[in-house]
Amino acid sequence: MGRRVLITGGAGFIGSHVAQAFVAAGDDVTVLDNLSTGKRDQIPREAAFHHLDITSPDAARLVRDGRFDVICHLAAQIDVRKSVADPAADAQLNIGGSLNLLEAVRASGNGTRPQTRFVFSSTGGAVYGDLVEPPTSETSPKDPQSPYGTAKLSVEYYMGYFARVHGLDTVALRYSNVYGPRQDPHGEAGVVAIFCDRLIDGAPLTVFGDGKQTRDYVYAGDVARANVLAASATLPPASALDSRAFNVGTSIETNVVELAATLKQLSGGSSPVQHAPARPGEQLRSAIAFDKAARILGWRPAVALGDGLRHTYDWFKQRRAEARS
């Protein structure tokens, strides 16, 4: 029989791909989500669903009593701008909610069953800052520029504490910029989703500043596979912050102008590219090295950017056609 796997945020963009990947691996999947940005129809049919908030006592009870072998924790407030506008609300959810779950895992450890592995979705795009030349490795200096990045890094520090002092089995996956089907095109993040949506309408693609800022785009299906591998990999001891942290990215930098041009070409769309003033404080370059994930998790990105973009665009187009019919 498969493992018992809990996925928080499993109704969301990345979480739904993670849920699907565990279902495909034959595991017994449960999703916990408050549907604030996630959608119920994105949860795989095979999964059980609990409509709960990660900060609630009920969520803690589910974790404590659920006898899960693996918990993939993706539920979060993901909007960097919202974290800037209200750092306390961001921390309450992204730090407080994570602590609620970690405390519940600790409370569930009574020695009568194997340990729960806790796999946390962290960020490789928001913890390193602009200090070092990309591609950044896990041990590079940390310099989060936003409350969102600070909260993600804080949870990693807390996981180190729970691992060393209480023996919890924790791992952090630091994703670069994730793209793919089901990403929300209406948020601030997710330039691929936004561009796909606008290309379908023939609306202009807005590029901030000169568009030379780079990001590392990783396909959602590849990120889901990293979660499945992290769930069962043999890991080093959690002796320091970065010991059990893994970058999940491609090491490849792509700038926004290149991204817009590639999407325009593969979609055959006629959207003009327009430039808007640079956004203050925006990171200039970002790409993360995946050597450690390759060595220890056996993970490397499998979907090339051109293929992933085509697949994503086709998905958006198909969804639009379905909505019309």
Ligand X SMILES: NC(=O)c1ccc[n+]([C@@H]2O[C@H](COP(=O)([O-])OP(=O)(O)OC[C@H]3O[C@@H](n4cnc5c(N)ncnc54)[C@H](O)[C@@H]3O)[C@@H](O)[C@H]2O)c1
Return the number of the residue (121 or 271) whose C-beta is nearest ligand X.
Answer: 121
Query: How many whole angstroms separate alpha carbon 176 and alpha carbon 7?
Result: 20
Query: How many whole angstroms separate alpha carbon 134 and alpha carbon 189?
Result: 21
Amino acid at 173: L
Cis omega (within 30 of 0) for bond into 114: no
Residue-level length of the chain: 325
Return the number of the residue (36 or 232) whose C-beta is nearest ligand X.
Answer: 36
- How would you classify residue 204: left for phi > 0, otherwise alpha for psi between -120 and 50, otherwise beta? beta
Query: Residue 201: helix, strand or coil by DSSP?
Result: helix
Is 161 labeled as catalytic in the residue annotation? no
**Rounded least distance, CB 121 to ligand X, Å:** 4
Query: How many whole angstroms separate alpha carbon 105 and alpha carbon 134?
Result: 35
Burial 84-112 (b: 16+ CB within 10 A, else e): eeeeeebbebbbebbbbbbbbbbebeeee
| Residue 28: both structure tokens together | 């017994």
| Residue 273: both structure tokens together | 């590219």
Return the number of the residue (12 or 26) whose C-beta is nearest ligand X.
Answer: 12
**Rounded least distance, CB 186 to ligand X, Å:** 11
Query: How many whole angstroms separate alpha carbon 206 and alpha carbon 260?
Result: 9
Q: Are strands 254-255 and 4-8 parallel, antiparallel or unpaired?
A: unpaired
Range list of H helices, the chain: 13-24, 57-65, 80-85, 87-91, 98-108, 147-166, 191-201, 220-232, 256-267, 291-292, 305-324
Q: Among 128, 148, 175, 217, which one carries the catalytic annotation?
A: 148
Exposed, middle or buried: residue 79 (CB in 10 Å: 0-12, 13-18, 19+)? Answer: middle
Return the number of the residue (36 or 318) whose C-beta is nearest ligand X.
Answer: 36
Return the number of the residue (22 or 175) whose C-beta is nearest ligand X.
Answer: 175
| Residue 206: both structure tokens together | 């807005």
**Rounded least distance, CB 40 to ligand X, Å:** 10
Return the number of the residue (75 or 200) whose C-beta is nearest ligand X.
Answer: 75
**Rounded least distance, CB 54 to ligand X, Å:** 4
> Given the rule CB under 6 A, which residues bind ligand X?
9, 11-15, 33-38, 53-55, 74-78, 93, 97, 121, 123, 125, 175, 177-178
**Rounded least distance, CB 75 to ligand X, Å:** 3
| Residue 143: both structure tokens together | 């310099």
**Rounded least distance, CB 74 to ligand X, Å:** 4
Return the number of the residue (17 or 198) whose C-beta is nearest ligand X.
Answer: 17
**Rounded least distance, CB 258 to ligand X, Å:** 18
Catalytically active residues are 148
